[in-house]
């Protein structure tokens, strides 16, 4: 079975690559190999309007299930509402779009890739797919060279007996008990009586007890005065938050000539874990190439990945301040202080486009961690940077 491109893993990044290639390069034959039952899995992905260009918002619009004009955050010092467009894409809509875009037989589900190199993929049933390019988008390996901490969560979609009264998402509610690091609850109102509630942790460890966190989600709903009529879809995840390392090392550890995408390539916002904007940009980078062979795709995507990682050192530094500088149950103070800054600065932060003034403004003033500890972390980060 011969294709121009074989995508190993049918997650967000590879799904978007397939979709964008079908739009811009319908002459290219693309196959996806996914171990699950459907492309995209069981996920939602959110982003702010400012995270993407107008053209990118347009071509991803069919994936967007919900859009709001404002969101709020809650901290012990108070509630703040910010005016900013916020969008949520769903794995179901992604799967629908990819299934419409690719010919029959080009989406191979319920099948693992047991081996692959730059030009071939061997499936668990011993079929071999040959390609001009192979792209690995299966996520970060359990053994990888980055210095990471973790954002982990369990979310439940709830049907309520009465209206919840929310005008927009609650992106962070940190008024809850602080457990396992920085804990907050994330709420998306999908309808007057339908909400997604996610209990989230910025943690030092990747362990997640889904049953315990599920109970906390239901407890949180009751504390909001919501009577739960039905529990629907459950979602859980463990996402990386980067403190150090180099994206180039991810590429060095991959099979020679195999292109990386998504989390496997280090393309995620280090401080928030958001991955949808990076996945959209990756799809545009690849679909925009004049030549779509293995070496061309590899070089373009590697350069894009390494450059994005290099440009985001400031966000990894802030992660170091929070994870290494603050006691676990005091980490919320770092985020609370940040959300007191100018809303435009906050928007640029999420989009990874902080200006030099933004960075200075984020750091000036009395830090919410001990000054000596902040100085020690800063010195360590500078030493690592200049030793490379």
Burial level of 107, CB count in 10 A (0-12/13-18/19+)?
buried
Q: Is the pLDDT of residue 47 over 90?
A: yes
Instruction: Look at residue 371 in the predicted model and tell me its pLDDT.
Output: 66
Q: Which fold has domain 2-65+91-140+249-311?
A: FAD/NAD(P)-binding domain (3.50.50)
- Give the tokens for residue 249: 């090392």
> What would you measure as the largest C-alpha separation in the chain, in angstroms?
62
Domain with CATH 3.50.50.60 in the chain: 2-65+91-140+249-311
Cα 74 to chain centroid distance, Å, stands at 22
Q: Is the pLDDT of residue 344 over 60?
A: yes
Task: For residues 153 and 139, give the distance between their C-alpha atoms in angstroms, rounded to a whole number.
Answer: 17
Model pLDDT for residues 187-213, shown as the tens digit of each residue: 999 999 999 999 999 999 999 999 999
- Give the tokens for residue 265: 């390539």
Task: For residues 72 and 66, give the distance between their C-alpha atoms in angstroms, rounded to a whole number.
Answer: 16
Q: Which fold has domain 147-242?
A: Alpha-Beta Plaits (3.30.70)
- The answer to whether the beta carbons of residues 141 and 151 sit under 8 Å apart is no
**pTM confidence score:** 0.94
Q: Which pLDDT band holds residue 142 (cuts at 50, 70, 90)?
A: confident
Burial level of 270, CB count in 10 A (0-12/13-18/19+)?
buried
**CA 23, 17, 7: angle at the middle one, nearest 5?**
125
Model pLDDT for residues 210-236, shown as the tens digit of each residue: 999 999 999 999 999 999 999 999 999
Mean pLDDT of the chain: 94
Cα 358 to chain centroid distance, Å, stands at 23
Dihedral of CA 375/379/380/384: which sign? positive
- The answer to whether the beta carbons of residues 350 and 51 sit under 8 Å apart is yes
Query: Could you tell me what percentage of the chain is helix, strand and coil, using 3-state DSSP and rounding each to the nearest 5?
Result: 40, 30, 30
Q: Is the pLDDT of residue 388 over 70?
A: no
Model pLDDT for residues 106-126, shown as the tens digit of each residue: 999 999 999 999 999 999 999
- The residue among 309, 257, 267 whose CA lies nearest residue 132 is 257
Buried b (16+ CB within 10 A) or exposed e, 128-158: ebebbbbbbbbbbeeebbbebbbbbbbbbbb
| Among 89-103, 219-233, 317-331, the least confident range | 317-331
Instruction: Look at residue 143 in the predicted model and tell me its pLDDT.
Output: 85
Beta-bridge mates of residue 70: 83
Q: Which pLDDT band holds residue 379 (cuts at 50, 70, 90)?
A: low
What residues contact residue 144 under an 8 Å CB cut-off, 6+ apart? 250, 253
Model pLDDT for residues 154-186, shown as the tens digit of each residue: 999 999 999 999 999 999 999 999 999 999 999
Distances (CA, A) of 270 to 30, 294, 314, 322, 370: 30, 28, 9, 12, 23
Instruction: Look at residue 364 in the predicted model and tell me its pLDDT.
Output: 81
Domain with CATH 3.30.70 in the chain: 147-242
Neighbours of 276 (CB within 10 A): 24
Tell me the average pLDDT across 51-65. 97
Contacts by residues 237-240 (CB-CB < 8 Å, ≥ 24 positions apart): 237/43, 237/151, 237/152, 237/153, 238/150, 238/151, 238/152, 238/206, 238/208, 239/150, 239/151, 239/152, 239/263, 239/268, 239/273, 239/275, 240/140, 240/146, 240/148, 240/149, 240/150, 240/151, 240/268, 240/273
């Amino acid at each position: 079975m011969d294709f121009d491109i074989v995508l190993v893993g049918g997650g967000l990044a590879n799904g978007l690559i397939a979709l964008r290639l079908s739009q811009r390069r319908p002459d290219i034959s693309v196959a996806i190999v996914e171990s699950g039952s459907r492309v995209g899995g069981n996920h939602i992905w959110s982003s702010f309007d400012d995270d993407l260009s107008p053209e990118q918002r347009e071509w991803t619009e069919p994936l967007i299930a919900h859009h709001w004009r404002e969101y709020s955050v809650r901290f012990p010092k108070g509630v703040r509402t910010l005016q900013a467009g916020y969008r949520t894409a769903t794995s179901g809509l992604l799967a629908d779009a990819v299934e419409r875009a690719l010919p029959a037989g080009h989406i191979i589900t319920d099948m693992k890739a047991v081996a692959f190199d730059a030009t071939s993929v061997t499936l668990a049933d011993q079929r071999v797919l040959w390609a001009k390019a192979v792209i690995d988008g299966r996520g970060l390996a359990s053994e990888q060279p980055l210095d990471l901490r973790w954002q982990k969560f369990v979310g439940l979609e709830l049907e309520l007996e009465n209206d919840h009264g929310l005008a927009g998402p609650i992106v962070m509610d940190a008024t809850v008990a602080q457990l396992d690091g920085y804990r907050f609850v994330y709420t998306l109102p999908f309808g007057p009586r339908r909400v997604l509630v996610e209990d989230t942790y910025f943690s030092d460890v990747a362990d997640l007890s889904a049953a315990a966190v599920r109970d906390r989600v239901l407890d949180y709903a009751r504390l909001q005065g919501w009577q739960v009529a039905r529990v629907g879809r459950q979602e859980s995840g463990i996402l990386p938050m980067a403190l150090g390392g180099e994206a180039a090392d991810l590429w060095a550890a991959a099979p020679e000539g195999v292109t990386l995408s998504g989390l496997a390539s280090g393309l995620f916002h280090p401080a928030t874990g958001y991955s949808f904007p990076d996945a959209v940009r990756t799809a545009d980078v690849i679909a925009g190439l004049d030549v779509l062979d293995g070496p061309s795709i590899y070089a373009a995507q590697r350069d894009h990945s390494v450059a994005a990682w290099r440009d985001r050192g400031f966000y990894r530094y802030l992660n170091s301040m929070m994870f290494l500088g603050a006691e676990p149950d005091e980490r919320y103070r770092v985020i609370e202080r940040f959300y007191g800054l100018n809303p435009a600065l906050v928007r640029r932060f999420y989009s990874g486009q902080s200006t030099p003034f933004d960075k200075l403004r984020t750091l000036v003033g009395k830090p919410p961690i001990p000054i000596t500890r902040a100085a020690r972390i800063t010195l360590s980060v500078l030493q690592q940077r200049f030793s490379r």
